Amino acid sequence: MPPTPIYLDHNATTPMDPAVLEAMRPHFLAGGNAESRHGFGRSARRAWEQARETVAQILGAEPSEVIFTSGGTESNNLAVFGLAGAESSPGHVVTSPIEHPAIVEPVARLESAGFAVDRVPVDAQGLADATRMAATFRDETRFATLMLANNETGAIQPVGGLARLAAARGIPVHTDAVQAVGRILVDFHALGVSTLAASAHKFHGPVGIGLLLVRSGVRLGSRLFGGGQQQGRRPGTVAVPLAVGLATALRIWHDQAQARAARWNALRDRLEAGLIAALGPQRVIRNGPALDECRLPQTVNLGFPGLDGDALLMQLDLAGIAASLGSACASGSTRPSPTLMAMRVPDDRLRSSVRFSLGATTTEAEIDEAIRRIVEVVGRIAAADETAAGETR
């Protein structure tokens, strides 16, 4: 009989909250285009506007600054290419080496079109230095981009500091907040950024809906054409049920934010401490910030020196534990994690690191059972490696 599954990969995606599904159901079943001038259309429009107002209230924005998209990747692409602008000559972009592929690849596309790009190094804890990034600004700098929280290590970045330094030069800042929204408090206006991306499926909402916050007055070139919806920045028939789902999931998280953060912190620390106690501090090493205030509450990245990460992940899967080697969007790659490489993590840890991420459904009993299974798997792999090494002597 297969073991009961334990899902510890919520940074990849979260299961939808049943209450979110129920909130969406009437809008899936009803007709009505939010742009139509009849009763069905007005009903859809009211639901759409209410979703925008909910998002704006929780994230510290104005409703007019909320643009709904298909998810984080689209939001990041709209921001990167929109802030780059359509000027005749390429400009300059400042970024970090720990960004998600949804930022890395659009920036690389700009670079191939002639843009100059500064990828400012992070420290050994995976934290960017806002002052160091700002030191690379030029007169032709079009924008800077820095994620709010890293998807692999949970490191919370100094985005507000970067935005303040950039504002003094009139340079817009974009932040990929996909892993932050629904995990920590995020205030768009307080951060001071020009644009901010998020995605519903990271906080128990539906897949296929995200958002881009665009500060009032910010020039953002359009990438899509064919309608005037959402100020022409993201035209097309609006997905009312999905917007309702995103807003509902965000509201549920917001109402429980403090309790969830405290519980996640406790469960995350229980997992890490339990593994270190069982395997020893030399065989389990955390990758990421030392201080809790610099970490997401539900993410821990652990290195198991001497083990092969792919083999470890496969054995964990057979043991019923879902985890990840890093970004789900790059999981098919055999290349070591760019984030851990940027942190200059030693090679034996670089190739043996696993990300565990928790969600609203994670329980203490699951964490305790996960510790037991992980310890068993690590011991089994280590024993097999020792046997193989002995046979080759």
Residue 154 has pLDDT above 50, yes or no: yes
Is position 329 annotated as part of the catalytic site?
Answer: yes
Average pLDDT over residues 354-367: 98
* Superfamily designation of domain 6-14+257-392: Aspartate Aminotransferase, domain 1 (3.90.1150.10)
- Between 269 and 337, the more confident residue is 269
Q: Which amino acid is at 379?
A: G
Match 């990300």 to its residue by tokens: 355
**pTM score, two decimals?**
0.93
What confidence score (pLDDT) does residue 45 get?
84
Paired tokens of 202: 């990271």
Residue 332 has pLDDT above 60, yes or no: no
- Residue 8's closest CA among 267, 330, 341, 282? 267
Lowest mean pLDDT among 29-33, 154-158, 205-209: 29-33
Lowest mean pLDDT among 27-41, 84-98, 115-129, 194-208: 27-41
Per-residue pLDDT reduced to its tens digit, 176-221: 999 999 999 999 999 999 999 999 999 999 999 999 999 999 988 7
What is the domain class of 18-255 according to CATH? alpha beta
Q: Which amino acid is at 166?
A: A
List Cβ<8 Å contacts ≥24 apart for 21-30: 21/245, 23/244, 23/245, 23/248, 24/206, 24/241, 24/242, 24/244, 24/245, 24/248, 27/240, 27/241, 27/244, 28/241
Residue 230 has pLDDT above 90, yes or no: no
Residue 338 has pLDDT above 50, yes or no: yes
- Residue 194's closest CA among 210, 171, 223, 222? 171
Paired tokens of 151: 């998807």
Per-residue pLDDT reduced to its tens digit, 52-61: 999 999 999 9
Q: Which residue in 261, 328, 329, 330 is the catalytic one?
A: 329
Q: Give yes or no for a contact between 93 and 144, defined as CB atoms under 8 angstroms apart.
A: yes
What confidence score (pLDDT) does residue 331 get?
47
What confidence score (pLDDT) does residue 43 get?
80
- The whole-angstrom separation of Cα 149 and Cα 14 is 17
End-to-end CA distance of the chain: 38
Give the residues across from 141 on adjacent strands: 92
Average pLDDT over residues 268-277: 98
Phi, then psi, of 264 in degrees rounded to 5: -60, -45
What confidence score (pLDDT) does residue 120 get?
98
Average pLDDT over residues 18-26: 96
Match 């107002």 to its residue by tokens: 53
HSE at residue 353, side-chain half, CA atoms within 13 A, is 28
- Residue 212's closest CA among 246, 261, 241, 244? 246
- The whole-angstrom separation of Cα 206 and Cα 291 is 32
Residues 6+ apart with CB under 8 A from 250: 54, 55, 58, 59, 181, 182, 200, 203, 205
Give buried/exposed letters for 268-300 (b at 16+ CB in 10 A, else e). Answer: beebbebbbebbeeebbbbbbbeeeebbbbbbb
Kind plus residue range of the DSSP H or E element containing 119: strand 116-119
What confidence score (pLDDT) does residue 88 get?
66
Most confident range (mean pLDDT) of 84-98, 212-226, 363-377 is: 363-377
Which SS3 state, helix, strand or coil, does residue 386 take?
helix
Average pLDDT over residues 82-110: 93
Domain boundaries, the chain: 6-14+257-392, 18-255
Match 């500064």 to its residue by tokens: 118
- As a whole-number percent, the residues of the chain with pLDDT over 90 amount to 79
Q: Give yes or no for a contact between 80 and 174, defined as CB atoms under 8 angstroms apart.
A: yes
CA distances from 369 to 5, 9, 25, 226, 321 (A): 10, 16, 35, 52, 10
- Between 235 and 53, the more confident residue is 53
Q: Give yes or no for a contact between 206 and 16, defined as CB atoms under 8 angstroms apart.
A: yes
- Residue 63's closest CA among 78, 45, 49, 75? 49
Lowest mean pLDDT among 172-181, 219-228, 271-280, 324-333: 324-333
Instruction: Using alpha carbons only, give the angle 353, 359, 362 rounded to the nearest 5 degrees.
Output: 95
Residue 289 has pLDDT above 70, yes or no: yes
List Cβ<8 Å contacts ≥24 apart for 20-28: 20/204, 20/205, 20/206, 20/245, 20/248, 20/249, 20/252, 21/245, 23/244, 23/245, 23/248, 24/206, 24/241, 24/242, 24/244, 24/245, 24/248, 27/240, 27/241, 27/244, 28/241
What confidence score (pLDDT) does residue 31 get?
78
